[in-house]
Structures are given as C-alpha cells and as structure tokens.
Amino acid sequence: MTTIPNVWESKSLIRFPDCDPFNHLNNARYLDYFINAREDQAMKYLNFNIYGYAAEKGLSWVVSKNQIVYIKPAFLMETVVIDSTILELREKDLLVEMRMWNEKKDKLKSILWSNFAHVNLKTQKPETHSQELMEIFKPFENKLSPPVNFDERVENLRNASRI
C-alpha cells in the first residue's frame, strides 16, 4: 500500500497569456495557477474530483479569503512546482497553504493561504463537512507547530529557504 504524503506537489508551465509585459506571471494569475494545481493534486493523490462531488452532492468549496505574498517572479515558459497542504481542517471550512517554487525547489516564488468555505450550492450557505469528508481529509491535515499567523509563516519560510 502506498502512503499518500500530506504535502501534495505538481508542476505547471507559465504561459504567455498569463504574463505581463515584463514576461512575469501577472499577480492576479498566481491564484489561477494555485487553484488549478490544488484541483489537479486532489485528483492525483486522492482521485477526488471536486466537480463530480459538486454534481453528486450539491456541495462544494468557495474561496472565502486569500492571503498571498509575491517573493520572486515566475517567468514566461518557466516550469514551476506548486505544493499544497491543509493547515487546518474545520467543521465548515479549511485553510490550505500553497507555495510556488522554481523547478529545482530552491527558490520560493510565492506563498498563498486560502480559506475554503464548504457551501451548499443550492442555498449558497455554509455547510458542515460530512463525517466522510472529515475522514478523507483529516489524515492530510498538516498543522503548524507552533501555530503562527500568515506573516510569521512567510518569514519562517523565507529564513528556511534563505531567499
């Protein structure tokens, strides 16, 4: 039996339409790359299709809050590595950390914390995670110890990667 890690990883190629005139990934497009990577990772590591889940259950997740820091630019046609982990799994939402690196993973480019609210698509109101979802996601929760806020986490990662 294969053990699934609690930090998931995938690669993305930075594309021309997503860049500014300086050939840097446009700030707004970082969010798209992060969210797309997380969706791909859920399929890869858990075979969990959020669109199939939404169609079957009428439930999904919406971003309720983002905190992002841009550290180094991602460039046109550069392959980046995006990793993600669940920092907190709560009754009605979860906090996910996503980090973008260069392909060698020795230069940190960006860090994102996203809060995802679990919602009923029909009522558009928050919905409690089912016991089944809690059991699926709980093994992948990767709480920070000691707990820190976003700015402290960014500083810790900067120091750890010596950027």
**pLDDT beyond 80 at 8:** yes
- pLDDT above 70 covers a percentage of the chain that reads 98
pLDDT digits (tens, 9 = 90+) for 61-96: 999 999 999 999 999 999 999 999 999 999 999 999
Q: Is residue 64 part of a domain?
A: yes
Q: Is residue 50 part of a domain?
A: yes
**pLDDT beyond 80 at 1:** no
Number of Cβ atoms within 10 Å of the Cβ of 27: 12
What is the predicted pLDDT for the residue at 162? 67
**pLDDT beyond 90 at 97:** yes
CATH number, domain containing residue 69 = 3.10.129.10
Q: Is residue 43 part of a domain?
A: yes
CA distances from 56 to 52, 53, 80, 119, 132 (A): 6, 5, 33, 14, 14
Domain count, the chain: 1
Q: Is residue 3 part of a domain?
A: no
pLDDT digits (tens, 9 = 90+) for 41-59: 999 999 999 999 999 999 9
